[in-house]
Structure 1
């Protein structure tokens, strides 16, 4: 069969069969015709393979784009949901903090009212309540009277406290305070709780220990004076305000 006599109609109906026949005919006609056919057929296969490969790459790219878009959309939704939850938590925390601050303020006001309340007839100064007696007692009797009402003879331990207590005095009245000489050393003054005196407010020329008998302390409506513990004076009781 001569390759030039091959009908184009037959090639359309059965390319593979006719192509095989043509290929065989070219073998019979010589290497030159065979080479031409192989070159043409190889180029066709290369073009088809290139097209298919490009199509696959394009499809993969499209799939990747879709996947990235879906993941990005899901991530955005999750971030928005998380942000909303955080905002709600922050708002809830702020509301709880405001509520706590209100409760603390109310408690502080209540504690202040309780702390500023002293028994009837007592005077509130700083963290203490003071009672200025109208009756007179010896120093030991005054000490015991204060003990009976859960208090003690006033201990004026610093200048601020001294100035505050001085505002309570009216007229020139002598009051026993919780001050006396150390029984083991009469030259050392101590408060009722056993602490040694560091701040003093002695009157001029006091203490003078007349006849070695003036071993208790009293205040002449301000300045201090040493006096015999058996003298009868008014007294000042002090108690800490309970909160």
Structure 2
């Protein structure tokens, strides 16, 4: 009978040890799950923050646009956009050009030929393929290497002019949100 008791006690001890180990593992998994859930919620909050436009920005489609009330050089404007988590606007379509022009603001956007005269590139490095230059532009009249949208010719999307990059103008930033 004592052997049976010994075996029962040994089995009971082993079961209790297994139970304690499993309980500890379960608690560790629960803690890990809680931490991952909290991290997921924080990441979702960040994502949702960027799906909506910040105050004073205008939303259109998958983009938010910031139209500066201030004036800076083209390079200062580009840096300001970068500090806002955006870029100087890259105009990808006739609709976007019409939208930018509808802001009725003389403003820098993300196009320059500062690296190679006459070779216009967007701030992301892609070459210009479709343009909306005003008649006679770009003309590099005074060493003009940066692009500006103007609010002239109200019934036309044609509104680009090249200007010296060190002139000060308003600017338009763009941030993708989807």
| Band the TM-score falls in, shorter-chain normalisation | 0.5 to 0.7
As a proportion of its length, which structure holds more helix? Answer: 1
Please point out which of 231, 237, 240 is paired with 2:167.
231
For structure 2, the residue ranges without an aligned partner over 5 or more in a row are 1-47, 152-156
For structure 1, the residue ranges without an aligned partner over 5 or more in a row are 1-112
**CA positional deviation for 1:128:** 0.3
Q: Which runs of 4+ in 1 moved over 4 A?
A: 113-116
- C-alpha distance after superposition, 1:94-114 (max 9, x if no partner): xxxxxxxxxxxxxxxxxxx97
Q: Distance in 2 between matches of 1:147 and 1:125?
A: 20
Pairwise CA RMSD of aligned residues? 1.8
Per the alignment, residue 31 of structure 2 pairs with none
Q: Distance in 2 between matches of 1:214 and 1:182?
A: 8
Per the alignment, residue 206 of structure 1 pairs with 137
Aligned residues: 125
Q: Distance in 2 between matches of 1:174 and 1:114?
A: 29
Contact 1:157 1:197 in 2 (8 A): no
Per the alignment, residue 218 of structure 1 pairs with 148
**CA positional deviation for 1:182:** 5.1
**CA positional deviation for 1:126:** 1.0
Q: Distance in 2 between matches of 1:128 and 1:240?
A: 4
- Highest relative contact order (Cα 8 Å, sep 6+), 1 or 2? 2
- Answer yes or no: is 1:179 the counterpart of 2:111: yes
1:80-119 to structure 2, matched below 5 A, reads 117-119=52-54
1:15-94 to structure 2, matched below 5 A, reads none
TM-score normalised according to structure 1 size: 0.49
Point out the structure with max Rg over C-alpha.
Answer: 1
